[in-house]
Amino acid sequence: MRSDSVKAGVQQAPHRSLFNALGITEEERQRPLIGIVSSYNEIVPGHMNLDKIVEAVKMGVAMAGGTPVVFPAIAVCDGISMGHIGMKYSLVTRDLICDSTECMAMAHGFDGLVMIPNCDKNVPGLLMAAARINIPAIFVSGGPML
């Protein structure tokens, strides 16, 4: 497994101690390490439901024999950022999302990713990351906001 680079061998004993500190058991370390990247936050109305999807995905990954690990992707609300200096920051988040997701996936040796985006910067940003890092990835859209 790709994640053996951070889990297996004598030289990874310090890594395993950090996994222990996270509460990840020896049994869980033997499974594929699946990153779940979510753009959930409390400032983008279209992302308010993503936390519930994340919890369902975590259970699904565990039931399928993987070890789920959640990490965030930033998100800016276009509606809130428009009409003031904030509008200069919305579009660039696409590249920040891509770059930061690539950093997390490569630095932690994930065997696969589940990406849970919504909105028009997070979806392409995570798609760009999936293509760039070339590991198995599944997209789970949050759907339309209420």
Give the percent of the chain with pLDDT over 70: 99
**Helix, strand, or coil (residue 78):** helix
What pLDDT does 142 receive? 85
> Average per-residue pLDDT in the chain?
94
The residues, any chain, with a CB within 8 Å of residue 87's CB and separated by 6 or more, are 81
Contact indicator for 5, 16 with CB cutoff of 8 Å:
no
Condensed to tens digits (0 to 9), the pLDDT of residues 17-59 reads 999 999 999 999 999 999 999 999 999 998 989 999 999 999 9
Condensed to tens digits (0 to 9), the pLDDT of residues 92-114 reads 999 999 999 999 999 999 999 99
CA distance linking residue 35 with residue 76, whole number of Å: 22
Give the right CATH number for 31-139 from 2.40.50.140, 3.40.50.2300, 3.50.50.60, 3.40.50.300.
3.40.50.2300
What pLDDT does 145 receive? 65
Structural domain boundaries in the chain: 31-139
What pLDDT does 54 receive? 97
Give the percent of the chain with pLDDT over 90: 87
**Helix, strand, or coil (residue 45):** helix
What is the mean predicted confidence (pLDDT) over 122-131? 95
Q: Is the pTM of this model over 0.85?
A: yes
More confident residue, 144 or 127: 127
